Each structure stands twice: as structure tokens, then as C-alpha cells.
Structure 1
Amino acid sequence: MFLTGFAALAVMPLLPVAARDLDGVGLYPLVAGAFVAASLLGGVLGGAWADRGGARRPLTAGVILSVATLLVSATSTTIWQLALGRFTDGIAAGLVAVSVNAAVGQSYPDHLRARVLSLMSACWILPSLAGPPLAGFVATRWSWHAVFFGLAGLTLIPAVAAVLLLRGRPGQPGAAREPARPGASVRRPALPAALAVSVAAALTQYGVTAWDVRHVVCASAGVALLVAFAPRLLPPRTWRAGAGLPATVLLRALTSGAYFTLEAFVPLMLSTARRVPGTVTGLAFTGAALTWAGASWVQGRLHHRVQRHRLVAVGAAIMAVAVAVAALCTVPAVPAAVAVSSMVVAAFGMGLATPSLTLLSLAHTPADRQGYASGALQTAQNLGQTLVLMVTSAVFTALSAASTHQLPSFTGAFALLMLPIAGAGCLAGRTRIMVADRQRAAGQPVAEADRGM
């Protein structure tokens, strides 16, 4: 997880430089969106694989594939090769993320899971401080190709460790398997549906960057594919916020979509409309990573004191405050640097909500289907990012075309983000853990009468 965070935070600032160097600035949205789109496919593959034989093999495959994909990006001579490298890297990242969550559910008792997830978040602290400046130094001193080669060398370490240390170990550590119940809200996703949704995500992210025939056709095709195939990758009743796992998955989509869209638009506002130096924008990302890790540490120590669904509601409320601060910064009289605090505050809310939703999904799911639950969360996270960013970008583009000033466009974009956050806060109670959920996840017999916890 440490090297995953290092790679993610080091690569993102370099993509515009690489696109410009490869004469592919026009295809930059596709390069940037390919990673998220492919993570959908990787998450579905990893979840199904982890359920069949444990998290060991998809985790090993993910870290090995990461090395190969970084080498593809490092040797890029065209923008299309770079896009291919980012797409395959997204598949690897999806495999790793889902496998790690499934491994936590399969390997650790319930009272340790929250602290394990807080440790995962802490692994992003040092990468947030060192990753971007170190990558920038290497790219300036040598080239952006050298950064990808260096990351491939670093990622080789966990790849070798996974092969050597996990080889020959049992796939599923003694989890009792409970037969599927009639009407259970778990189903196996189809690979063609996952592939269609990944393609749809890439089309929509590319399509909303401009208002011409080609972009509109791409966006329309992407939306049509999402409507047709996305429900097949999620638990039944997800869009209706069915109690238990469906509502948990939906809230992951809402919170992730709102946060990562805010993370995209605040730096854009700082660098274009408010003309803030790039160092200030970099501080926003560093501060956000630190507060996310800090909030995750806090939730790990509230395991027996606060119910998980209440932490999700508190996290959503904190994110609403952050969006209000970002909207306030569109007023010229407000110092531009105040917008940095919006990302920091929103990250604290996500640090409370995201691990809590992961733990809730494990509690709502039988032991032999926790790979599916992890895959559904990953799919929902990427779908939320795709859909919320798509709608917000469309509103932003329309307002920009109708106004001579950029700040009103940002005001409309930030106001729109209040909708998914408000939905997450209102629906948090539907993720509540019942005694039967906890017994079912542990493979224990379920009593006839459920009592809320």
C-alpha cells in the first residue's frame, strides 16, 4: 500500500508533462481517465478471484502486473501507448485494492479490522510528502520516463515478496462458508459487463471535455452503456439504497464521487480563476493526505464507542462543510488560499467515512463472499467518481460557455456537489449493522430474531 500510494501521487502530476511531450494534449482526458475506468474491471476480476481461492493470487497478480504496466508507460513513444499503460495499470490497481480489502476480511478478526485499515491509510502519509516533489525533481533532472522506470523498480519489491512469501499458502484462512440464502443480496458479476462499464467510463470522461459532435456522441454512448451494464456489477437494490450491503455500496459511490470531484475542481479554480502558485496547490494535496490518514487513525480507535453508520454520517457532514468553504472561495473578496482548507477538511470526512464503509460491507457479507463485497465497493467508488465528475463537468462547461467569468462556473459546480453529500448523510442509517449481519459474516448460525447494534 505504501508503494501504491507513492506511485499514484508521483504519477498524476507528471501526466500533463508526458502528454505534452508526446504531442497528445488533446487526448489527455483519456489518459487521465483510463486508470479509473480500468480500475472498474480490475475490481470485479479481483473480487471474484478472491472469493474463489482467497486474496493471495489476485494480490500477487496485481503487484506483478503493476511492474509490467509501469514499464509500458516508461517506454511510451506515443500518447496511445501511455494511455494503454495507464489503462492496464488501472486493472492492476483494482486487483490490489480489492485483494487487500478481501484479505482484511478473511484474515483479521472483527476487532482488529478498523486498526488494520487505519494502518493502510497511514501508508499514504510519507508518499504524500515525498512523492510529488521527488517525482518532479527526477523529471526535471532527467525525464518523466525515468520516474516510471524508478516506480517499476520500487514496485518490483512487493511483487517479489508476494511471489516468495505467499507461495503455497492456503487461499482462504479458515473462514467458515455459509450456504447462500434465498434472496441474498449478493450475485456474481459478469466479465463482459465489467468490460463494458470500463469502456463506458472512459467514453464519458472523454466526452464531457468539450461540446462538439464527437464528444457528445462519446458521452452519450458512455451513459447508455453505464445504464445498461452498471447495475449488473452492483448488489441488487443498490440504486434504491436497500438496507445493508446495497446502501453501503451506494454511499461509497456518493462520498467518493463528491470528494474526488472536489479534489479535481479546487486545484483547477486555484490555478486558473484565482492564479495561486502551484506550491499552494501542492500543499492542498499533502494536507489532504495527512488529514485523511489522521481521521482513519481516529476511526480505528472508535471501534467500540461509536456505531459505524454514525461515523459515515459525521463524515458526510464534515464534507458538506468543506464544499461550502470551497463555494465561499469563489467570492473574490475571500482569500484564495482558504480553498486549500476545503480539501483538507473534506479529506478528514473521507477518512472517517471510507474505512467505516469498508468495515460495514464486510459485516454485511458472508465470509466466502467478502471478495465480491470488496469488488462492489471498488466498482461503486469508480462509478461514483465517473458519474459525479461527468455531471459536474457538464454543468461547469455549460456555465463557462454562458459567462465571461470563470468563478460563477465553479460556484455552480460546488453547489452541485452538495446533492451526493446530502444523500450520503440522509441514507447513512440504512448501513446499520444488525446482529444477524455480524453472525453471517463470521459464518455463525443466524438467529430468527435480529436485534440492532
Structure 2
Amino acid sequence: MDHLVRGGGGGDPADAGGGLFSRRYAAVTWSFTAVMFLTGFAALAVVPILPVAARDLHGVSLYPLVAGCFVAASLLGGVLGGDWADRSGARRPLAAGVLLAVATLLISAASTSIWQLAAGRFLDGVGAGIVAVSINTAIGQAYPEHLRARALALMSTSWIIPSLAGPPLAGLVTAWWSWRVVFFGLAALNLLPALAVVAVLRSRSRQAVPAAPGERPPRPALLVAFAVSVGAALGQYAVSGWDPRHLLCAVAAVALLVVFAPRLLPPGTWRAARGLPAAALLRGLSSGAYFTLEAFVPLLLDTARRVPAAVTGLAFTGAAIAWAAASWWQGRLVERHPRHRLVAAGALVMTVAVAIAAAGTLPELPALTAALSMVVAAVGMGLLAPSLTLLSLTHSPAGRQGYASSAMQTAQNLGQLTVIGLASALFNACPGTGSSGLVGYTAAFALLLAPTVLAALLATRAADG
């Protein structure tokens, strides 16, 4: 358990046969699982109530900003959490992240204006970014290498129940009482486990493993991370319209991201340099393709193919289960197959999923064809995402797991924002389509072939050694 804050990924030979719930690792495993379960529950439960909250606060026009704040702020949280974890161990940032999540849920619940809700979502994104990076860093610090894949698979499995229960429960609570009750309830649900996690981690050593001389990266400027977060938020808002105000936001977003984003990524990321830079680029490409597919397929099913919302919800449920199952499977395959091959296999599966989604726009095929693409894509991500995280930890020198985890989180969010922005622009640019046409959807799905094929081709550049 002392590995949680001191590193030592190699493990003790005496523990070579131990599992995640052996005496040595039980406390940390239960702590991580509880954090990920509640983080997932809060993140997924909030999504369906945000439009209701925006309407109630007379801020529907600012809904894109509210919806984009969370992802944008997680960029800042990831950088802050990664550097903090490298310098003092994962305990403090993880504890701060879970407590911040509770506080920000209360801020959102008490919102009297759309701007307060946006501020609450922004701070929640900061906390979520800190938690996500701290968990990945702590896995690299707490477990020997032979247990990391299974630990990551367990973290993915922790999202299954939240994905099944979170959105419908939040919808029912909102319908019966108020969207504010959802936020207050989530804060109460998270409070005791958050305090328990802090208590468990506080009882351990505070020493962090030092980096080798010259290996530790300089402390990232928080102003740089904040500028990237602001640029990401502006980009999310900009793609929602075509008037001069949105165009100005788009120009500002591009300027901020082009100038500052490269400073948060490993040198050589854009040219897929071998090792951590390639792993970061692959995370951005794959995440961008997956989350864009996840955004456009439900829109296609609702507006163009007239599929009932309940059926679309089942597609999300199937995707969550498929992701967790594939992640569990890769935790066993990684012992027999090189990790970069699992990355390539996952990218190829996602390419098939994109092709299925494009086929789902054809009137001759059943409407549920597109829904199937979400499940297939989740299988690809279940194979690919944990494998990339393992590769990033492998490429991290001692004491730099936080930096690597932060870089992966930053690449993921930037990839998501970039790909979905390009796809949205292409979708809206198709003449005469609108949300009920099919040409725009076909064009958007065709665009997603580029990042998935590129990820498959570049997978070897992230290989071990």
C-alpha cells in the first residue's frame, strides 16, 4: 500500500502472485473503485438534466458553454493533478479532487443564474481532471506492472452501474422534484465516501518517489493550462452557431489552442515520436473519433431515423457494457500479446464501427444499424484505451507518472474537442441537410475514418522499448 504514494511500480517479488484484492492491495483497490464509481455516477447523471437547468435559469442560449465547461476545465485539472502527483504523490491531489467534486455539486445545486451553473460545471471539470489523472498515476505508483492492466480494467468496470442507473434516475428525480435535488443528492452521496478515501490515503506515507536528475519536467505554468481550458470552452461554444459572435469565439479558441496546447503535450506529439508522444497522439485520435461518434449517432437516431429515446438509451447501455467487457478482456490478453497490437486491434475495430455508422444513414438499412456502431466502437475503445494508459506508464521514468497521465488526459480532451468541432463544422456546412437530413451525417462519419485508420497505422510507434 505504501506504493500508492512512493511509486515502486516493479513491486516486491514476494507479492508476484498477489491479486488486486490481496492483503497488500485491498485497501487501495477498494478506495480507487469507490472513487471511480461515484465519479462516473455523478458525471453521467448530470448530463440529462443540464438542458432542464439551463431552461429554468433562462440561459438556453448559453447551454453550449455550460455543456462544454466540464471537458474544457478537465484540461486544467489534469495538468494540475499530474504535476501535483509527481511532486508529492497521488494522495493529496486525489483527496483534493474528490472533495472539490462535492463542493462543486453544491455550487451547481444552488445556482441562481446560468453563469453560476457554468462556474460550478467548470470547477467540477477541474476536480474530475484531478481525480482521473491521480487515479492513473496512483495505479502506476501503487501496483506492480503485472497488476496494472487488471486495475485499469476494474476502473472501467466501475462505470457500468453508473451508466445503467445514473441517467434514468436523474431524469426521474428531475421529473418528480427538481434538477437541484439531483445535484444535492449527488453531493450527499459523494460526501462520506470522499471523506473515507481521504482518511485511507492520509494514513499512508507522504513521500513521493524522486525523479532522476534532469528527468523531471519543469512545473507547467497554470496560466498556460488555464488558457488552453478557456480556448477549449470557447471552441465548444463556437461550433453552436455561425454568427459573428460565434466566429470571433472560434478565432480566439484556435489562437489559444495553437499557441498554448503544444506546451502541455510531450515534445514530438504532433509527429508521433516513439514512446509517450505517440501514445498521447493515439489517445487524442481515438478519443476524438469515439466521442464524436457517440455524439452524432444519437442525434441521427432521434432526428433522421425517428428511433425512440428508450432504444437510444439501450445503445448507450450496451456501449458501456461492451467497453467494460473489452477492457476486462484486454487485462488478460496483455499478458500474452504486445500492448501496441491491442491498440492497433482496437483502432481497427473502431474503423469498422465508423463504417457501420455511415451505413446506418442509408434508408435501405434498419435504423438500429447506427445504434450497433456505438457498441462496436466501445469494444474498440475497451481494448485500446487501457492499453494506451499502460504504455504511457511504461514510457514514464520514475517519478513522472503524473506528467504522463496528465499528457494523456490533455491529449484525450484536445482530440475530443478538435474532432467533434471539425465534424460539426462539416455537418453544418453540407447544404440543404440540417439535423433531419442524411448527407451531413454521412460526411461526419466519413471524417472519422481518418483518425481511426491513422491510429491503427501509428500503433507500433507507441510500442514498449
TM-score band by shorter chain is over 0.9
Pairing 1:300–2:300 present: no
Alignment TM-score, normalising by the size of structure 2 = 0.90
2:354 alignment counterpart: 323
Residue in structure 2 matching 1:78, options 98, 110, 113: 113
Contact map agreement 1:72 1:85 (CA 8 A) in 2 = yes
C-alpha separation in 2, matches of 1:24 and 1:329: 34
1:382 alignment counterpart: 413
2:197 alignment counterpart: 162
- The 3-state SS of whatever aligns with 1:347 is helix
Pairing 1:2–2:37 present: yes
Q: 1:403 to 1:128 in 2, by over 3 A?
A: closer
C-alpha separation in 2, matches of 1:404 and 1:162: 45
2:25 alignment counterpart: none
Q: 1:153 to 1:433 in 2, by over 3 A?
A: same
Q: Which amino acid aligns with 2:133?
A: V
Q: Which amino acid aligns with 1:179?
A: P
C-alpha separation in 2, matches of 1:272 and 1:79: 27
Pairing 1:117–2:152 present: yes
C-alpha separation in 1, matches of 2:305 and 2:277: 41
C-alpha separation in 1, matches of 2:431 and 2:425: 10
Q: Which amino acid aligns with 1:217?
A: L
C-alpha separation in 2, matches of 1:290 and 1:403: 32
Contact map agreement 1:54 1:172 (CA 8 A) in 2 = yes
C-alpha separation in 2, matches of 1:401 and 1:431: 42
Residue in structure 2 matching 1:232, options 259, 263, 269: 263
The offset of 1:159, in angstroms, is 1.6
1:446 alignment counterpart: none
2:135 alignment counterpart: 100
Residue in structure 2 matching 1:180, options 206, 214, 220: 214
- The 3-state SS of whatever aligns with 1:301 is helix
Q: 1:102 to 1:403 in 2, by over 3 A?
A: closer
1:256 alignment counterpart: 287
Contact map agreement 1:19 1:79 (CA 8 A) in 2 = yes
Q: Which amino acid aligns with 2:213?
A: P
C-alpha separation in 2, matches of 1:394 and 1:128: 29
Contact map agreement 1:106 1:172 (CA 8 A) in 2 = no
C-alpha separation in 2, matches of 1:238 and 1:252: 11
Q: 1:257 to 1:33 in 2, by over 3 A?
A: same
The offset of 1:425, in angstroms, is 0.6
Alignment TM-score, normalising by the size of structure 1 = 0.93
Residue in structure 1 matching 2:384, options 337, 343, 353: 353
1:38 alignment counterpart: 73
1:353-388 CA-to-partner distances (Å, cap 9, x unmatched) read 000000000000112001000000111111011111
The offset of 1:180, in angstroms, is 2.9
1:267-324 CA-to-partner distances (Å, cap 9, x unmatched) read 1111111111110111111111100000000011112211000000000000011111
Q: Which amino acid aligns with 1:57?
A: R
Gaps of 5+ in 2: 1-35
Residue in structure 2 matching 1:215, options 235, 242, 246: 246
1:63 alignment counterpart: 98
- The 3-state SS of whatever aligns with 1:368 is coil
Residue in structure 2 matching 1:189, options 216, 220, 228: 220
C-alpha separation in 2, matches of 1:401 and 1:195: 38
Deviates more, 1:18-27 or 1:48-57: 18-27
C-alpha separation in 2, matches of 1:272 and 1:194: 37
Q: Which amino acid aligns with 1:367?
A: A
Pairing 1:417–2:448 present: yes
Q: Which amino acid aligns with 1:34?
A: C
1:60-104 CA-to-partner distances (Å, cap 9, x unmatched) read 000000000000111112111111111000000000000000000
C-alpha separation in 2, matches of 1:321 and 1:40: 30
The offset of 1:168, in angstroms, is 4.5
Aligned length: 430
- The 3-state SS of whatever aligns with 1:343 is helix
1:310-355 CA-to-partner distances (Å, cap 9, x unmatched) read 0000000000111111111111121112211100110110001000
C-alpha separation in 2, matches of 1:424 and 1:96: 27
Pairing 1:24–2:59 present: yes
Deviates more, 1:127-136 or 1:245-254: 127-136
C-alpha separation in 1, matches of 2:427 and 2:85: 40
**CA RMSD, Structure 1 to Structure 2 (Å):** 1.4
Q: Which amino acid aligns with 2:45?
A: A
Contact map agreement 2:345 2:380 (CA 8 A) in 1 = yes
1:253-277 CA-to-partner distances (Å, cap 9, x unmatched) read 0000110011000011111111111
The offset of 1:210, in angstroms, is 1.0
Q: 1:218 to 1:302 in 2, by over 3 A?
A: same
- The 3-state SS of whatever aligns with 1:64 is helix
1:127-148 CA-to-partner distances (Å, cap 9, x unmatched) read 1111111111111111111111
Q: Which amino acid aligns with 2:395?
A: H
The offset of 1:158, in angstroms, is 2.5
C-alpha separation in 2, matches of 1:21 and 1:265: 26
Query: Moved runs in structure 1, 4+ residues, more than 4 A?
Result: 400-405
The offset of 1:19, in angstroms, is 1.3
Q: How does 1:331-410 map to 2 (within 5 A)?
A: 331-400=362-431, 406-410=437-441
Q: Which amino acid aligns with 1:332?
A: P
2:83 alignment counterpart: 48
Q: Which amino acid aligns with 1:155?
A: N
1:171 alignment counterpart: 206
Pairing 1:144–2:201 present: no
- The 3-state SS of whatever aligns with 2:430 is helix
Pairing 1:276–2:303 present: no
Q: 1:172 to 1:425 in 2, by over 3 A?
A: farther
- The 3-state SS of whatever aligns with 1:304 is coil
Contact map agreement 1:203 1:219 (CA 8 A) in 2 = yes
Pairing 1:128–2:163 present: yes
* Percent identity over paired residues: 67
